A and B are shown apart, each in its own frame.
Chain A
Amino acid sequence: MRRKFIGWGLAIVAVLAIFFPSMAWMQTRITHYKTNYRTPLNPTILVPGSSASQDRFDALIKQLRQETKTAHSVLKVKVATNGKLSYTGSIRRNDNHPFIVVAFANNRDGYTNINQQARWLNVAFKDLVKTYHFNHFNALGHSNGGLILSLFLEKYFDQSPTVTIDRLMTIATPYNMESDSTTTRTAMLNELVAGRHKLPKKLTVYSVAGTENYSSDGTVPANSVSQGKYIFQNQVAHYTQITVTGDDTTHSDLPQNKQIVLLIRQYLLQETLPAKDRAVNQSRFTQSQAGEPEEP
């Protein structure tokens, strides 16, 4: 009888010793899930530059589809001037890395227009988050699309507190508009620099410039692209500037330029590139290592 009591006592103690610590642990675990949870859906949002439609990235996407085994699905959003959204295409089920192109009915150049477009981007973005429930994404902006994305991140992104941005790549984005100067700042650059503290601290930024000659890609001055350092440097986690030269480096060719497609795959989509493709990029940046044997 006595032994039985001891046995029951031990069992109860054991149950309690497991139950209460496990409750405490569960609380921390669930908080952890809620704060660190990342949705499997991880879209890449592409914003075209001025005068370009939602079809601007078709060539790029086609090329990406050819080169990578996974066919990313494409959703295109067009924002009308009254903020109405029209969708074409769709995100395929089980495609966790779709492309979402956001374009604007009013796609004109100029300070006020671009600011307006950043606001429209916010409208589209909030609707996308509401519909597809993603909580992190990457972004790619071509030309003024990079300005729209940067303005959006500074001015409107805090309206979506559940979402974080991992990586932003801008291609030939004229942070100082059409100005070639390294000293005078346009209104756009002033605004971006003034609001730079609101950029996400964990963001990684790649700014790609193309050059036909030593100063420009034919449309955007190289100096204007490199002014981006005054916005991102020391504000975001990493800011990398890349200059691409060679064939197909005029401003409008850049999104489908072979090197830039590789950069997109390597840095923005974080694909593991086959060795031969990696070599193309590496020889471009690290000329000194060209003669050395390749890493296994």
Chain B
Amino acid sequence: MQRLWRFNQRVGKWRAMRVIQQALTVVYPFILIMTLISAIGQSCLAPNGFFFHIYHIGQWLPGLTLWRQAFQVMGLVVNNVVAVMMTFATGYFLAKTYRRNELAVGLLSALAFLTLNVNYEVIDQAKRGGSQFVENNLGPQGIFLGIVVGLVVGWFASWFLQKLAHWRWFTRLTLTGRVAWLLVIIMAVMVLVGYGMSWLTTGGLNGLVYQATRAMITNPGHHGVMILAVTALNNFLWWLGLIGPVNLAGNATVNSLQNLATAVQQGSAWNVPHPVTLHTLGDAYANFGGAGMTLALLIAIWIGSTRAHDRHIAVQTALPNLVNLNQATLLGLPVLYNPILLIPFVVAPAVNIVLAWCAITWKLVPPMVYPMPQTTPGPLMAYLGTAGDWRALLLSLVCLTVSVLIYLPFVKLLNQLPEPAEEEEGEDHAA
């Protein structure tokens, strides 16, 4: 533990790490609001939302379509630019550490990120229609790439400005001229990269990253070890900000459909053809609150944390976590790029998968067969998905407890950290 702590302190001193943490702090409120909106939208208003079903919201809420549209619009606005904001903030804070013109560098980073995600198919005159940017990549999915671009461009721009500061021709230029030249160079590079990428994939650079990871880890079949490895890798990628290469909440695979078919025809979930799949293990028992069992993290914070910052975030993100939307927790705490929390973030779901795997293969619990909405609260997922088998509920609670216990020592370790400085204060000091 002490070693981990020292490692954390050392990593925390890295410039990139500090910059990422700062950027995440700035972006967090936006993500929080976005997640709250989509939590309500997806669980209470969407036709496959959990609360929508159990409280029969469609039957008594007047103007349902209007509500849906309103929430959709509000969700869209933030959701579609969150990675751009992250890129901007990363570039901004990095330039600030180099004492360069941080606003200009931040904007440059954001522009560079957008350039990488231009939808080249639309530029192609033959194919009309579609949006001008690959919108998917500008949302939470693009956070990892946003951070990378922010760091690279931020570093390059700072270096460029510094390097040329002594060059006579350059010093004659005004700030406008310098930034303009920089922009030209960065744009040229990014367009080249982006255009090159468009030959390989239609989803932008981000699409390429996702394609690669997906190809690596799709379809783990029904081998427990494979499922374990895939989930662990998936959680690690989430920790890096590569949100959702594998959709764990997959009801629609052939295996799940065959399970459902058998269960419906036999009237019980015991003798299905594929008792062990990513869905019956990962979805049902290792995804409470989303990837990494973040619901357990929140409970561990309530129990063991003395940091006001962590406790605030736990309260603020409780509702989204209840319906398995944990992006706000990941960015706010932050879990992302936090070496201490990486361990439980990967280990807790893995332990749960092993528990569920044993329980299912030893026929202690039936596997989950009925498709459930993705917004079903984690601990209820298996119980409802097995048509109300109390053993599944018991196993869910055991899994939750075990995860809380796994998270607890790490949360307590975080207590030693100082409270993060409020950003606005820092600004005042700088000025």
Picked from A22, A25, A40, the residue with its CB within 8 Å of the CB of B261 is A40
B16 contacts A by Cβ under 8 Å: no
Contact check, B388 vs A21: say whether CB atoms are below 8 A apart. Answer: no
Q: In the docked arrangement, what's the CA distance between A53 and B265, Å?
A: 34
Contact check, B387 vs A94: say whether CB atoms are below 8 A apart. Answer: no
The A interface is mostly helix, strand or loop, or mixed, namely helix
Measured between beta carbons, the chain A residues less than 8 angstroms from B388 are 23, 26-27
Contact check, A18 vs B264: say whether CB atoms are below 8 A apart. Answer: no
Picked from A18, A30, A133, the residue with its CB within 8 Å of the CB of B380 is A18
B336-393 contacts to A (CB < 8 Å): 370, 376-377, 380, 384, 387-388
B406 contacts A by Cβ under 8 Å: no
Contact check, B260 vs A37: say whether CB atoms are below 8 A apart. Answer: yes
Measured between beta carbons, the chain B residues less than 8 angstroms from A26 are 370, 384, 387-388
A24 contacts B by Cβ under 8 Å: yes
- Write the A221-247 contact mask toward B (1 if CB under 8 angstroms, else 0): 000000000000000000000000000
- Write the A1-41 contact mask toward B (1 if CB under 8 angstroms, else 0): 00000000000000000110111111101100110010110
B61 contacts A by Cβ under 8 Å: no
Contact check, A133 vs B261: say whether CB atoms are below 8 A apart. Answer: yes
Measured between beta carbons, the chain A residues less than 8 angstroms from B148 are none
B378-423 contacts to A (CB < 8 Å): 380, 384, 387-388
B227-263 contacts to A (CB < 8 Å): 254, 257, 260-262
Contact check, B384 vs A22: say whether CB atoms are below 8 A apart. Answer: yes
Nearest CB to that of B267 among chain A residues?
A: A34
Measured between beta carbons, the chain B residues less than 8 angstroms from A22 are 50, 54, 376, 380, 384
Measured between beta carbons, the chain A residues less than 8 angstroms from B54 are 18, 21-22, 24-25
Measured between beta carbons, the chain B residues less than 8 angstroms from A37 are 260-261, 264
Measured between beta carbons, the chain A residues less than 8 angstroms from B50 are 22
Q: In the docked arrangement, what's the CA distance between A162 and B55, Å?
A: 32
B222 contacts A by Cβ under 8 Å: no
Contact check, A33 vs B265: say whether CB atoms are below 8 A apart. Answer: no
Q: In the docked arrangement, what's the CA distance between A86 and B14, Å?
A: 75
User: Which of B50, B264, B265, B380 has most A Cβ within 10 Å?
Assistant: B264
Contact check, B387 vs A30: say whether CB atoms are below 8 A apart. Answer: yes
Contact check, A39 vs B261: say whether CB atoms are below 8 A apart. Answer: yes
Given contacts A18-B380, A21-B54, A22-B384, whether A33 and B370 have CB atoms under 8 Å apart is: yes
Contact check, B260 vs A94: say whether CB atoms are below 8 A apart. Answer: no
Cβ distance B311 to chain A, nearest Cβ, rounded Å? 12
B53 contacts A by Cβ under 8 Å: yes
Cβ distance B258 to chain A, nearest Cβ, rounded Å? 8
Given contacts A22-B380, A37-B260, whether A133 and B55 have CB atoms under 8 Å apart is: no
Measured between beta carbons, the chain A residues less than 8 angstroms from B384 are 22-23, 26
Measured between beta carbons, the chain A residues less than 8 angstroms from B262 are 133
Given contacts A21-B55, A24-B54, A25-B54, whether A34 and B264 have CB atoms under 8 Å apart is: yes
Nearest CB to that of B371 among chain A residues?
A: A33
Contact check, A40 vs B370: say whether CB atoms are below 8 A apart. Answer: no
Measured between beta carbons, the chain A residues less than 8 angstroms from B264 are 33-34, 37
Nearest CB to that of A25 among chain B residues?
A: B54
Q: In the docked arrangement, what's the CA distance between A29 and B369, Å?
A: 13
Nearest CB to that of A36 among chain B residues?
A: B264
Nearest CB to that of A30 among chain B residues?
A: B387
Q: In the docked arrangement, what's the CA distance between A24 and B388, Å?
A: 10
Cβ distance B187 to chain A, nearest Cβ, rounded Å? 40
Nearest CB to that of B53 among chain A residues?
A: A25
B252-286 contacts to A (CB < 8 Å): 254, 257, 260-262, 264-265, 267
Given contacts A40-B257, A133-B261, whether A19 and B380 have CB atoms under 8 Å apart is: yes
Q: In the docked arrangement, what's the CA distance between A27 and B370, Å?
A: 11
Cβ distance A124 to chain B, nearest Cβ, rounded Å? 20
Q: In the docked arrangement, what's the CA distance between A40 and B54, Å?
A: 28
Q: In the docked arrangement, what's the CA distance between A22 and B64, Å?
A: 21
User: Which of A22, A25, A39, A162 has most B Cβ within 10 Å?
Assistant: A22
Q: In the docked arrangement, what's the CA distance between A258 and B380, Å?
A: 55
Q: In the docked arrangement, what's the CA distance between A58 and B219, Å?
A: 37
Measured between beta carbons, the chain A residues less than 8 angstroms from B380 are 18-19, 22
A90-124 contacts to B (CB < 8 Å): 94
- Write the B107-142 contact mask toward A (1 if CB under 8 angstroms, else 0): 000000000000000000000000000000000000
Q: List 9 A-B contacts (CB under 8 A).
A: A22-B50, A22-B54, A29-B53, A33-B264, A33-B370, A40-B261, A94-B254, A135-B265, A162-B265
Q: Which 5 A-B pairs have the closest CB atoms?
A: A21-B54, A25-B54, A37-B264, A22-B54, A26-B384
